[in-house]
């Protein structure tokens, strides 16, 4: 792992902090900034067409990296990249982003092996599995084991792992397997953001986290029972709820987001269940400062 992080448990979790700004890069891609610190979550902006959101067969769609889009929408410096799981709409751009930014990349053994197969810099790879607590310059990252959404038949899209060795270079989207899922609590002083929780979780996994910002998926897909209520209550009815991974990611990032999974229904549910929480709706490339 790079020099920017350590496993030192003496973390800065209280006190003032510079303003925190989040910017949505579509799908589950986020840029989080505070002072000189930059955190990227699942920085995928290539948005090549697969047919996945159009109910078309997409397993054999070819992987491409739109370096022009990455250069346009993602800055040239970052402290860390947080990978929530290994599917194409989360990690495809990460090797190029890591090369450009010098960021430490946190992910499971499978995520990192897939990234190595796509020429990610070895010296920037930071393997995690859940339970790690890292101090970066100006912020901390806690890592938690998480769970991907499943289909109505309780099956997982592109399941599997790639442990122990680097696989052949992925060519099709189905080559990028889930490889385990992770969630992250990012703290800037007393301001915290929780990313990576899906509609498939258990309350005890969120015990006492109480994030300031919860990145929350719309439930226009199979979900656990009473998902919205359970998550909002388990997260302590957070001050801010930010919807994520709800857009039609087959469409251009430079156009307004098309609601694929029911983001406005999610907003209504948040208002009903946790009226004290502010529902922070952001469109493509919009940002919000806290």
pLDDT at 157: 86
Q: Is residue 131 exposed (0-12), middle (13-18) or buried (19+ Cβ within 10 Å)?
A: exposed
Other CB atoms within 10 A of residue 36 CB = 10
Distance from chain centroid for Cα 145: 13
Condensed to tens digits (0 to 9), the pLDDT of residues 191-222 reads: 999 999 999 999 999 999 999 999 999 977 66
The answer to whether position 80 is within a domain reads yes
Give the chain's domain count. 1
pLDDT of res. 14: 46
- Map tokens 């891609």 to a residue: 29
Quick one: residue 164, left, alpha or beta (phi over 0 = left, psi -120 to 50 = alpha)? left
Residue 267 lies in a domain: yes
Residue 146 has, within 13 A of its CA and on its CB side, a CA count of 26
- Report the alpha-carbon distance of residue 35 to residue 13 in Å, rounded: 16
Residue 14 within any structural domain of the chain: no
Q: Which domain holds residue 131?
A: 20-289
Alpha helices in 59-158 (DSSP H): 67-73, 88-91, 94-101, 109-117
Which 3 state secondary structure label does DSSP give 39?
A: strand
Task: State the Cα–Cα distance between residues 75 and 91, nearest whole angstrom.
Answer: 17
Chunk the chain into consecutive blocks of 10 residues (it has 290) and report each block's average pLDDT, rounded to whole numbers: 44 67 98 98 97 94 98 97 98 98 98 98 98 97 92 79 94 97 97 96 93 93 83 97 97 96 96 98 98
Q: Residue 183: give its domain's CATH number.
A: 3.60.15.10
Q: Which residues contact 255 (CB under 8 A, 6 or more apart)?
A: 284
6 inside domain? no
**Which string of DSSP letters, residue by residue, matches 198-218?**
-SS--GGGGTTT--SEEEEE-
pLDDT tens track for 44-77: 999 999 999 999 999 999 999 999 999 999 999 9
- Rounded to two decimals, the pTM is 0.93
Q: Is residue 282 part of a domain?
A: yes
Strands 133-136, 139-146: parallel, antiparallel or unpaired by DSSP?
antiparallel
**Which three-class secondary structure state does DSSP give residue 267?**
helix
Q: Is 13 inside any structural domain? A: no
Residue 5: inside a domain: no
Rounded to whole angstroms, the Cα distance separating 120 from 97 reads 9
Note whether residue 169 is domain-resident: yes
Half-sphere exposure of 66 (CA within 13 A, CB side): 16
Asked if 43 and 81 touch (Cβ cutoff 8 Å), the reply is yes
DSSP secondary structure code for residue 62 in this structure: B
What is the pLDDT, as a whole number, of residue 15?
A: 58
d(CA 135, CA 5) in angstroms, rounded, equals 5
How far apart, in whole angstroms, are the C-alpha atoms of residue 27 and residue 42?
9
A 10 A CB-CB count for 99 gives 14
């Amino acid at each position: 792992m790079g020099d920017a992080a350590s496993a030192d448990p003496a973390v800065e979790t209280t006190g003032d902090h510079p303003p925190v700004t989040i910017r949505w890069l579509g799908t589950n891609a986020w840029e989080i900034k505070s002072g000189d610190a930059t955190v990227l979550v699942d920085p995928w902006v290539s948005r090549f067409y697969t047919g996945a959101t159009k109910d078309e067969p997409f397993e054999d769609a070819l992987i491409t990296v739109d370096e022009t889009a990455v250069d346009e929408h993602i800055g040239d410096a970052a402290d860390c990249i947080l990978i929530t799981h290994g599917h194409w709409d989360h990690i495809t751009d990460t090797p190029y982003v890591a090369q450009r930014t010098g960021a430490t990349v946190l992910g499971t053994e499978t995520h990192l092996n897939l990234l190595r197969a796509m020429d990610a810099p070895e010296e920037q790879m930071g393997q995690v599995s859940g339970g790690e607590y890292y101090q970066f310059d100006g912020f901390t990252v806690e890592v938690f084991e998480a769970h991907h959404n499943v289909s109505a038949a309780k099956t997982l899209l592109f399941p599997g792992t790639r442990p122990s060795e680097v696989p052949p270079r992925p060519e099709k989207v189905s080559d990028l397997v889930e490889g385990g899922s992770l969630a992250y609590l990012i703290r800037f002083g007393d301001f915290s953001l929780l990313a990576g929780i899906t509609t498939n979780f258990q309350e005890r996994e969120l015990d006492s986290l109480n994030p300031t910002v919860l990145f929350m998926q719309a439930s226009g897909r199979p979900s656990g029972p009473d998902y919205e209520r359970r998550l909002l209550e388990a997260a302590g009815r957070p001050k801010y709820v930010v919807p994520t991974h709800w857009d039609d990611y087959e469409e251009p990032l430079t156009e307004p987001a098309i609601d694929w999974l029911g983001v406005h229904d999610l907003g209504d549910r948040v208002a009903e269940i946790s009226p004290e929480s502010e529902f922070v709706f952001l469109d493509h490339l919009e940002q919000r400062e806290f």
